[in-house]
A and B are shown apart, each in its own frame.
Chain A
Amino acid sequence: MRSVSEPAAGGGAAIPSSRGAVPAPGSADVAALQQRFVRWQQAVAAAATVPVGRTPRALVWSRDRVRLYRYRGPAPPTYPVPLLLVYALVNKPYIFDLLPGRSFVEFMLGEGFDVHLLDWGSPGPEDRRLGLDDYALDYLRPALEQVRRQAGGAGASVLGYCIGGTLATLYAGAVPAAPIRNLILLSAPLDFTDRGASLFARWFDERHFDVDRLVETLGNVPAELIEVWAQMLRPVENYVGAYLSLWERLDDPAAVESWQAMHRWVHDGVPFAGTAFRQWVVEHVRENRLVRGTCTLRGRPVRLEQIRMPVLLVVAEQDHIVPMRQTTGIVDRLGSRDRRVEVVPGGHVGLMSGRRARREVWPKIAAWLRARSGRPRRPAGRGEGRRGWQERWPVAAQS
């Protein structure tokens, strides 16, 4: 942080450090402090409109509110096995494509993968009866089939993040013939053996939390309610620390834009479909059915030992939302011989957005996937140049 006398990075008036000497009342420092406060307020207000998810993509399939997108990279994909990204049900999936230079999608395209994204959309009142079974079998399954057909291969790699990972696991465990070549689970909550490890598990305890009444009264669980719960996991960091962080980085436009994009994503949630939420709380958080072997998906038993494709589990050391054990607890129960656990530094969201993610997490995922995504194609020749590739790709609306 600069000292009080240093000029601002943007060439404006001198701006006092938030940690410098306390200025005397009426001095120029007070005016500068006021200016900084105004800029800080403006930066917070502008967060809602900061453009996110800018990588070009085409809409390739849709059903109800669910959309499947295929991203367009600078060159044709090198690897024949496509990659499908599946995100949680309560957030928007642009965390995978937050900003240019900080986008997992952009990174994986650059690595030569054919990247697809399944966007669950925002459930409306008519979707209150959607359960986890419906998400896995009526949306994930056909989307995966579509990805497989588009690429013309035998299967696709699936990367599930958070509850998206749980859904992918449910599907893979219930349908042994699922066309999943590789399964990557990023901080997926799967094993609730230790209910004390997760605050959500404590809060959703049947002694305190009446999930039936909540769902019967509201239909879907509103995004605002989920946001409050999520923020209360770390109230000081989320309600105070986050804003102090912006104050300190206010002179760095790139850091401000990054903060704004993350702020937008955090406050841009979607409702949780009522039935799916009830299933999530009762069958998974409370009864731990997946690990106990009593979980079913529309009558089909979900067996972890039926998951035989290569599996990569990525967990974050400081994850306070999905403690590591909730993901790694299943590793010995998987039927797959090719399984690996990667423990990376950082928190839950840091897997996709932190500065470390691009440096330490994404390359590990790409390297693991490269070895399991088929023989790489030759780079495009003169007649099959990048221009030809881009012309064949009609890019739909961005979101």
Chain B
Amino acid sequence: MSRDHPGAEPRAPGPSGEPEPWQAFQQAWLDAWAKAMHETVAADEFARMMGRSLDVFLQAWAPLRQMERVLQRSLEGAGLPTRADVLALAERLDGLSRQVEALAGRVDALMGRPRGAARPPAHGRRDRRTRAPQRPVTRKRRAERR
């Protein structure tokens, strides 16, 4: 996991090349604070405290889960899709898109094309079956054709 912030970068010294008194004081104060905090977060007690905090956080989710179950029963009763149904549908769609991808690969192989070579990604592709709607044949156009 990689998160950090540029705040840790060393500060620029003053014009004389030496840190100004206030800068030096501030830096020393921050360094001391950071060192103390680092020792705190590295302690076993802090790890235990984090674990307990997580437990409390997850316990707070229990009523929400209960509410979710009630809502799910209500939706099922009303014949409406639940969150679980939508998730299952999303997973099924992912599976289908993979099947389509595999089939396209097989078609490429059968036609002797390098697999996937000339095929842009699915959502950037223009569907060739989609054509502009044909204009109705008017009397004028019929005359033009003749």
Contact residues in A for B7 (Cβ distance below 8 Å): 237-238, 240-246
A149 to B61 CA separation, bound complex (whole angstroms): 47
Nearest A residue to B4 via CB reads A349
A205 to B33 CA separation, bound complex (whole angstroms): 26
A199 to B46 CA separation, bound complex (whole angstroms): 10
A218 at the interface (CB under 8 A from B): yes
Given known A1-B20, A19-B23, A64-B94, contact A237–B34 (CB-CB < 8 A): yes
Interface size on B (CB < 8 Å)?
52
- Which residue of the partner chain, among A63, A240, A321, contacts B1 with CB atoms under 8 Å? A321
A199 to B55 CA separation, bound complex (whole angstroms): 19
A207 to B23 CA separation, bound complex (whole angstroms): 42
The answer to whether A248 touches B1 (Cβ under 8 A) is no
Main secondary structure of the interface of B (DSSP, over half): helix
A258 at the interface (CB under 8 A from B): yes
What distance in Å separates the Cβ of A307 from its nearest Cβ neighbour in chain B?
A: 22
The answer to whether B90 touches A124 (Cβ under 8 A) is yes
The answer to whether A262 touches B5 (Cβ under 8 A) is yes
What distance in Å separates the Cβ of B96 from its nearest Cβ neighbour in chain A?
A: 11
A238 to B6 CA separation, bound complex (whole angstroms): 8
Contact residues in A for B22 (Cβ distance below 8 Å): 18-20
Given known A126-B91, A209-B50, A242-B7, contact A236–B114 (CB-CB < 8 A): no
B107 at the interface (CB under 8 A from A): no
B79 at the interface (CB under 8 A from A): no
Given known A235-B37, A236-B30, contact A88–B2 (CB-CB < 8 A): yes
B63 at the interface (CB under 8 A from A): no
In B14-37, the 8 Å CB interface with A consists of 14, 20-23, 26, 30, 33-34, 37
Most chain B Cβ neighbours within 10 Å, of A124, A187, A199, A227? A199
The answer to whether B9 touches A230 (Cβ under 8 A) is no
The answer to whether B9 touches A245 (Cβ under 8 A) is yes
Contact residues in B for A237 (Cβ distance below 8 Å): 5, 7-8, 34
Given known A19-B23, A236-B30, contact A187–B2 (CB-CB < 8 A): yes
Contact residues in A for B4 (Cβ distance below 8 Å): 230, 234, 238, 266, 321, 347-350
The answer to whether B97 touches A230 (Cβ under 8 A) is no
Given known A62-B123, A149-B116, A236-B37, contact A226–B47 (CB-CB < 8 A): no
In B89-135, the 8 Å CB interface with A consists of 90-91, 94, 97-98, 101, 114-117, 120-124
B12 at the interface (CB under 8 A from A): yes
Q: How many A-B residue pairs have CB under 8 A?
A: 175
The answer to whether B51 touches A209 (Cβ under 8 A) is yes
A61 at the interface (CB under 8 A from B): yes
Given known A62-B122, A208-B50, contact A348–B41 (CB-CB < 8 A): no
The answer to whether B41 touches A235 (Cβ under 8 A) is yes
The answer to whether A269 touches B90 (Cβ under 8 A) is no
The answer to whether B3 touches A231 (Cβ under 8 A) is yes
Contact residues in B for A45 (Cβ distance below 8 Å): none
A153-167 toward B: CB 8 Å interface, digit per residue (1/0)? 000000001110000
A233 to B7 CA separation, bound complex (whole angstroms): 14
B54 at the interface (CB under 8 A from A): yes
Given known A64-B94, A90-B1, contact A149–B114 (CB-CB < 8 A): yes
Given known A63-B98, A202-B47, contact A162–B2 (CB-CB < 8 A): yes
**Chain B residues within 8 Å of A, Cβ to Cβ:** 1-9, 11-12, 14, 20-23, 26, 30, 33-34, 37-38, 41-42, 44, 47-48, 50-52, 54-55, 58, 61, 65, 83, 87, 90-91, 94, 97-98, 101, 114-117, 120-124
Q: A60-B121, A64-B98, A209-B51 are in contact. List 15 more A-B contacts (CB 8 A).
A: A59-B120, A62-B121, A125-B90, A162-B2, A208-B50, A209-B54, A218-B58, A232-B50, A237-B8, A242-B6, A244-B7, A321-B3, A353-B6, A354-B6, A396-B124
**Chain A residues within 8 Å of B, Cβ to Cβ:** 1, 18-20, 59-64, 67, 88, 90-91, 95, 124-126, 129, 146, 149, 161-163, 187, 199-200, 202-203, 205, 207-210, 213-214, 217-218, 226-227, 229-238, 240-246, 248, 258-259, 262-263, 266, 269, 321-322, 347-350, 353-355, 396
Q: Which 10 A-B pairs have the closest CB atoms?
A: A242-B7, A208-B51, A230-B3, A19-B22, A241-B7, A126-B90, A236-B34, A349-B4, A242-B5, A62-B121
A-B pairs with beta carbons under 8 Å apart, 24 shown: A19-B20, A60-B121, A62-B121, A91-B3, A126-B87, A200-B1, A202-B42, A209-B47, A209-B51, A210-B51, A230-B4, A234-B37, A237-B7, A238-B7, A238-B8, A241-B34, A242-B7, A243-B7, A245-B7, A263-B5, A266-B4, A322-B2, A353-B6, A354-B6
